[in-house]
Structure 1
Amino acid sequence: MIRRLHRSRWRVGRFDAELVRRSGELPPTRFDDLCRRVGHAADHSKLWFAIAAVLIARKGATRRAGLRGIAAISGASVSASLVGKRLFPRRRPAAELLPEPRRLVRRPTSSSFPSGHAASAFAFAAAVTMEHRGAGALVTPLAALVGYSRVHTGVHWPSDVAAGAAIGVAAARATRHWWPHGTGLPQQSEPPVEAPELESGEGLLILVNPASGDEDVDPSEQIRALWPKAELIRLEPDTDAVAEFALRAAAGDLRAVGAAGGDGTVTCVAEVAVRHGLPLLVVPAGTLDHFARDLGIDGPVDSAAAAGAGAAVRVDVARVSLERRGGDPRRLQFINTASLGGYPEMVRLREKLETRWPKWLAAALAMVTALRSAQPMPVMIDGRRRLVWMLFVGNGSYEPKGFGAARRASLATGLLDVRYLRADLPYSRARFVAAALTGTLRTSHVYRHFESPRVEVRLLGGPRRIATDGEVGPLGRRFTFQLDPGALSVYRLPPP
């Protein structure tokens, strides 16, 4: 066995030496300078962080691609530089093997195996490709150039680069353990339903929220171009546009209603659509657009294609009834999620942080802060006494499990997704964080999850505020969550 390993190592070394020799025999060209510049730009992953910043600046799949790329680089750097180089020390190629003009002025002194540059490059390229194939097609050739540049400038053997590339791809795939990739979800299975064709927008009323998403982008102009005959009502400050929209929808002469904004705007219009039995047109114009994303609508063009073809599906709607001491019960509708405990506090903190930080970063900081300052909440869940930090209820089955719920494979499951974090165990918050980081939440004692068409939650302490679809709602003591299967018709093209 040992003899075979030595023989394999000798063959690899011979192959490496032959490739480096042939590379050294290449005539001098401008390509030499390009390799040096690209390799220098990739030092400490500066090149990839710059590209990630550009991707993150745009919402949607490009933002997810940039964030997944950064996560993959972190894993690849640790695996290659802190683990691989220490376990497998190897001398770098001799400088004399290459012409002097091609050599780097400052040659690295760490182990040659594996290539950290190649690991980071292919980790970033593979992770970006998972989320956005177009961006991946642009980044992958650049990653390959960075990998080859390490051989061309004589600081790595070819097998170092191959090993680094393998580590990088593995690191990108490993991000799915904590952040599942949307394309791995089953195909959507919502039942189709007939809806009016809205090629020009005649009979269509759209509520437009210009404050959603990017502050400098107003979707009204694009909406008028796509549906010139549609009627628009804009959510302006100091106006009750939602009430005006509801009154106009009650007139009875509309064929459909639409929402151009984030999930909060969609929730308002969805309630009107269900009340009057009208199909809903979703035009994603917010920051995250969870509902539109789970529908498979990436932008206004997708919305226009579905509306023009009259293609729609039936999806579930979730409702929660609030009972307050000395007050009448109040009913709220939500299309994504509802929660109690630390989550509403996180929403309020996120709104404050958004004035200084990007929304995605503000949300992450707010989550950590809310969990650290959360107070235990004694509750009765379906008649069973529990002490929890926070409780999450989703309209449909969400992935991944845990409190980082992100995607739904279907919007017509007929079930609520209920999760809570126990507060009656020692170091429960620290154990929750450790389980989330290691991907072991499903087996953790501090995390509980079940699915049901109805769940009742009664607070044993003081009243708490509920958050629905990211908006902080009223105070309540008893909350009854239930599902209304297929209550909403939404425009969406059938999956290919």
Structure 2
Amino acid sequence: MLFPAWVRKGDARAGRHINSRGAPPAVDSALRHLSRSADRSVLWFAIGGGLLAMGQRRAALRGLLSLTVASAVANLVGKKLFGGDRPLTKDIPIGRRLHRSPESPSFPSGHAASAAAFATGIALEQPALGLAVAPVAGAVAYSRVHTGAHWLSDVLGGVAIGVGVAAAGKALVPAPVPRVVREGGIDIALPAAPSGDGVFIVANPSSGKDVVGRTDPLTRIGERMPHARVHILADDDTPDAVITEALASDHPPRILGVCGGDGTVSATADTARKAGLPLVVIPGGTFNHFALAVGVDSVDDALDAVASGVGARVDVAELWLDDGAPITVLNVASIGIYPEFVLEREGLEHRLGKWLSAVVAAIRVIRREEPVTLEIDGERRDVWSVFAGVNRNEPDVPAPLSRKRLDDGVLDVRILPAGSRVQAVASLAFGRRSSAVLRAVGVIRPGGVESFTTESLSVTVWPKRGQTAGFAHDGEAEDVDPDAATRDFRSTVRLVEGALDVYCPPAA
């Protein structure tokens, strides 16, 4: 095997270090059996079968197909090109040795390639599942060095092949994007503006920055609606102030548009309701919950609806804090520790991305915070958070963030009671599909989240000493007035039927 001397020296040094470190016999035995269980990928096919039984078909198939290709590349191509001798059996402590020493060439490790490909393939479809499988894959890869079956460079080479094959498979065969179809909402005729005449759009340039491969929405808007006015929000701009100024101009808009995340969309919808104007939502955020709920999953979907003058009349909710002005809510409002979770997550997103930042933020917040004391329907109790979703949401998600209906006239309330911190982390950080897996393995207990529907919900909050009282709606966290943060305050969420006209494709 033609490898530089420094690689061979590194392998020898790593081997001596691992072999010289004593391990309990139980650990040696466990790693030896784990390594053997991965022979011919039996372990991975067993896990894949379990995922199929749990309904995780795409994740299982991508993991198994990635494994199959990576194994072929490592064993049929890599070993023939590179080869090399395996570590000497006499150098391996007796308790660690495999009962049958492998006889094939050493580089790369087929076991490591298969393990890495399987875990990476699953992670590319379902990050939470990939995170669960990764420690097993890592243990299998390490076991090949621990048992003396491979050098460290063999394992690292196998891991590189596995990850590379899975990533290439994702690029060549991306997951299909299902067509979004809205459910509910009364179809209505709205003003048509094929060229953008009378359309005023506010765009948040900081939204959706971590979405890879997205075409710039503003470029597409300029191509299709050259007469539309687009205002890119500066750091000190608010949608309300910008739109109010536009409405007071000599040529006030007759259609309001917004390109940004759910927080920007919610703020613009509030102003559109006050002005009595229809709203066009152009997906520009990361999740775009409301845009997807109304059946708009691309810029062209939104612009087609404006050009044709078609839309729907949908429900919203209004949130009051004490005697303050109502705030329009499109997806969900929350009281409790969820606002702290949102703020923590936002501070991590630029470094970790949306998903991993959610996990880290949930762990940090749950570790340092205590449950919040609330009074709900006359009953005083300690909870982690209370969520009020606009219309019915996914039934099995602890936090209702994405509405499934547009006009069923109810709030979908979920209460996360004080209790297990592990369950609280899982409930805050994971979505529908990941939550289903966590329920299956017992991390999220059935019945651990209370749920009911209502038209109005009133909650009185008693902040404990040192607690920051806050609320969140549509992915944005805000602090309560400083005076209210030191005393009890009352929040009310009320559903308002048919309160917003939105451009969107006709109902299916």
TM-score of the two chains, using structure 1 as the length reference: 0.63
1:122-137 map, 5 Å: 135-136=174-175
Change (3 A) 1:67 1:233: same
Q: Corresponding residue for 1:344?
A: 339
1:412 Cα deviation (Å)?
1.7
* Further displaced range: 216-225 or 430-439: 430-439
Change (3 A) 1:275 1:214: same
In the aligned structure 2, how far is the partner of 1:366 from the partner of 1:237?
A: 25
In the aligned structure 1, how far is the partner of 2:386 from the partner of 2:172?
A: 36
**Gaps (5+ residues) in structure 1?**
1-31, 54-65, 83-104, 107-119, 138-180
Q: Corresponding residue for 1:471?
A: 476
Amino acid at match of 1:466: F
Q: Corresponding residue for 2:492?
A: 480
Which of the residues 96, 106, 113 maps onto 1:43?
Answer: 113
Does 2:193 match 1:193? no
Q: Corresponding residue for 1:492?
A: 504
Does 2:420 match 1:428? yes
Change (3 A) 1:472 1:408: closer
Q: After superposition, what is the alpha-carbon deviation per residue over 1:290-329, rounded to whole angstroms, capped at 9, x for unaligned?
A: 1112222221011112221212011111111111xxxx52
Amino acid at match of 2:459: V
User: Does the 8 Å contact 1:249/1:272 carry over to 2?
Assistant: no
Q: Corresponding residue for 1:360?
A: 355
Amino acid at match of 1:188: E
1:214 Cα deviation (Å)?
1.7
Give the secondary-structure state (helix, strand or coil) at the position aligned to 1:355.
helix
Does 2:389 match 1:394? yes
In the aligned structure 2, how far is the partner of 1:444 from the partner of 1:41?
A: 37
RMSD over aligned CA atoms reads 4.0
Which of the residues 209, 219, 222 maps onto 1:221?
Answer: 219
Q: Corresponding residue for 2:11?
A: none
Q: Corresponding residue for 2:67?
A: none
1:374 Cα deviation (Å)?
2.3
In the aligned structure 1, how far is the partner of 2:117 from the partner of 2:302?
A: 36
Amino acid at match of 1:355: H
In the aligned structure 2, how far is the partner of 1:414 from the partner of 1:373?
A: 37
1:93-242 map, 5 Å: 135-136=174-175, 188-214=183-209, 219-239=217-237, 242=240
Give the secondary-structure state (helix, strand or coil) at the position aligned to 1:484.
strand
Does 2:138 match 1:68? no
Q: Corresponding residue for 1:164?
A: none
Q: After superposition, what is the alpha-carbon deviation per residue over 1:440-494, rounded to whole angstroms, capped at 9, x for unaligned?
A: 7997454211111101001134572111112222415100110111101111112
Aligned identity (percent) is: 32
Change (3 A) 1:300 1:35: farther
1:195 Cα deviation (Å)?
0.6
Change (3 A) 1:446 1:275: same
Q: After superposition, what is the alpha-carbon deviation per residue over 1:225-253, rounded to whole angstroms, capped at 9, x for unaligned?
A: 12111011110124456402223135684
Change (3 A) 1:134 1:195: farther
Change (3 A) 1:42 1:443: closer
1:339 Cα deviation (Å)?
1.0
Change (3 A) 1:51 1:443: closer
Q: Corresponding residue for 2:253?
A: 254
In the aligned structure 1, how far is the partner of 2:112 from the partner of 2:243?
A: 53
* Aligned pairs, number: 361
